[in-house]
Structure 1
Amino acid sequence: MKVQRLAWAGLFLQEGETVILIDPIQQVPAPTSHVVGQPLERLTHFSKLPRPSAILTTHLHADHFDPESAIQAFGHDLPFFVPHSSLEATLQKGLTQVTGMNVGDQTKIGEFLVTAVQSIDGFGNPQVAWIVETKTQRVIHCGDTVWHGYFWEITKRYGPFDIAFLPVNGAVLDIPTHQPPSRLPACLTPEQAVEAAHILQAKKLVPIHYKTFHHPPFYLETEDLEKRLQQAARESQVEVMMAEAGDFVL
């Protein structure tokens, strides 16, 4: 399995002729851009990617779901896999080959076995984590999950993992749709990501969902992220692999 980290929370996975993308974005349209600001690093242009066999979407926030760019690059009939309760909303975007998956559902996509497992969104929107595996390797992508108690059950049923891709920026948001705002992070902090990777029995933690967006006072990335991540990793004996967009991690 080849695995490449894309910008923000995106992944490129390839096994033989099968290519899967997870949460790729080329742009962040308004009103989301009013909250997260303009990207601080270049996003992944879809024209530079091969046509995938499918795109897996953890949830429909615009910093994880970019149907307009996907349609422009790959056509309306590109297979999309989304949380089952997001199926109708995804079809309304003009995509015609959409499969909704509930927690525990599995499907074969070419050379890959894909499983939807629990992930909890910071604002209560539908979300799943994706496990993608071959006969010899297994990775998990947890979207922008907050801390939850399902990590143990996921490991018991599907683990261990070669790589856990986990959000680490501990973002605190102040947005019009969720008032009054919470001062608690809407996704994993560095310390929580390390603990999750430890419970998931991941050989490596590859951090995602950081550095691309920081837009005070609406979207705040947690402070001293990399230093805290490495300190927590040493204490828990978790191997962290810092990867830039474009880096291959498997």
Structure 2
Amino acid sequence: MNIQKLPWAGIRIETDDIAIVIDPITRILEEFGGAREPMYPISYFGKADAVLITHLHEDHFDPAGIIEAYGAAIPVYVPAGLEGAARALGLTNVNGVAVRSSFELSSDVKATALPSVDGLGDIQVAWLVEGSGRKVIHCGDTLWHGYWWSFAQNYGPFDAAFLPVNGAVLELPGMMPSGQPICLTPEQAIAAATVLGAKTLVPIHYGTMQYPPIYNETPNIEARLAAASKVQVNVTLLKTTEKLAL
């Protein structure tokens, strides 16, 4: 299994002659300050046989970019209940997947939707992808939650966990500010990867957006990951376009 880091929170998985992309995007909206890293057409990273979407926030779901890269009929898998919203944006082969349901992408590759907790209360899943004897989990922009132990017991161990780390605090117009992070902090990501029994943590969802006061990324992410990890879990930092072979 080979995995390539895409911008922001996206990854591309190649295994058993199947290519899967999770949360690919081509832009960060200007109301969030635009992107602080280079962005690419999704097709830059190669073909895909399926697209998995953790949730429909615009920094994780880019239907125009998906259609431009793969066509409207590419199989797209979203959390159950979001099919209509995804189809309304031009995608024609949208499949809703219920939490803890699995489906096969080939005789050797399986994807499973697992519970996730969204920082704004919207529907979200984590994706477990299995193939070539390997297991990886991609958790979108989840908060800390109590599912980590059941993931480890029922689905682990994991070869790699792709977890958000930027502990973003939002002050959105029309919403009462909470001062609380809407996704994992560096320390929480280390703790989650430890509970999961992941062989490596690959941080995602950081370094691309910073637009105070609307979007506030937590500081000193890489140093805090290093300090928190110690001997508990290996951390693999990937820049966009870099690859990890499992």
Q: Shared topology, TM-score over 0.5? A: yes
Match of 2:65 among 54, 66, 69: 69
* Counterpart-to-counterpart distance in 2, 1:133 and 1:57: 16
The secondary structure found in structure 2 opposite 1:229 is: helix
How far is the alpha carbon of 1:17 from its aligned partner?
2.2
Within-5 A mapping of 1:132-211: 132-177=129-174, 179-211=175-207
Match of 2:216 among 184, 209, 220: 220
SS in structure 1 at match of 2:13: strand
* Structure 2 residue 54 is matched with structure 1 residue 48: no
Candidates 236, 241, 244, aligned match of 1:246: 241
Q: Which runs of 5+ in 1 are unaligned?
A: none
- 1:25 paired with 2:22, answer no
- Kindly report structure 1 stretches of 4+ aligned residues shifted beyond 4 Å: none
The Cα of 1:50 is off from its aligned counterpart by 2.3
Secondary structure of residue in 2 paired with 1:222: coil
Q: Does residue 1:120 correspond to 2:148, yes or no?
A: no
Which amino acid is the alignment partner of residue 132 of structure 1?
V
Using the alignment, how far apart are the partners of 2:78 and 2:40 within structure 1?
20
Q: Secondary structure of the equivalent of 2:243?
A: coil
After TM superposition, give the deviation of residue 113 of structure 1 in Å. 0.6
CA offsets per residue over residues 4-44 of structure 1, 9 Å max, x none?
A: 11111010101132100000001234xxx31x211000123
1:62-81 CA-to-partner distances (Å, cap 9, x unmatched) read 00000011112211101100
Task: Look up the equivalent residue of 1:238 and give its one-letter code.
Answer: V
Could you tell me the percent identity over the aligned residues? 46
1:95 lines up with 2:91 in the alignment: yes
**In structure 1, distance between residues paired with 2:190 and 2:40:** 26
Give the partner amino acid of 1:187.
C
Task: Give 1:240 deviation, angstroms.
Answer: 0.6
Q: Classify the secondary structure of the residue corresponding to 2:67.
A: helix
Which ranges of structure 2 fall in alignment gaps of 5 or more residues?
none
Query: What's the offset of the Cα at 1:135?
Result: 4.1
TM-score, normalised on structure 1?
A: 0.95
AA aligned opposite 1:167: P
Q: Distance in 1 between matches of 2:40 and 2:112?
A: 25
Q: Tell me how far apart the structure 2 counterparts of residues 128 and 44 of structure 1 sit (CA, whole Å).
A: 25
Aligned residue for 2:173, secondary structure, equals coil
Amino acid at match of 2:118: D
Mapped partners of 1:70, 1:134: distance in 2: 23
**45-54 vs 118-127, which moves further:** 45-54
Letter aligned with residue 234 of structure 2: E
Query: Aligned AA for 2:125?
Result: V
Q: What is the distance in 2 between the residues matched to 1:196 and 1:134? A: 22
TM-score by length of structure 2 reads 0.96
Moved more, 92-101 or 47-56: 47-56
Contact 2:128/2:138 (<8 A) preserved: yes
CA distance in 2 between counterparts of 1:14 and 1:66 reads: 21
Q: 2:41 touches 2:69 (CA, 8 Å); kept in 1?
A: no
Match of residue 232 from structure 2: 237
1:196 to partner: Cα distance: 0.2
Deviates more, 1:108-117 or 1:209-218: 108-117
C-alpha RMSD over aligned residues: 1.1
- Is this contact kept in 2: 1:56–1:82, CA < 8 A? yes
Stretch deviating more after TM superposition (45-54 or 113-122): 45-54
* Secondary structure class of the residue paired with 1:144: coil
Residue identity opposite 1:11 in structure 2: I
Q: Distance in 2 between matches of 1:132 and 1:202?
A: 14
Provide the rounded CA distance (Å) in 2 between the counterparts of 1:194 and 1:215: 25
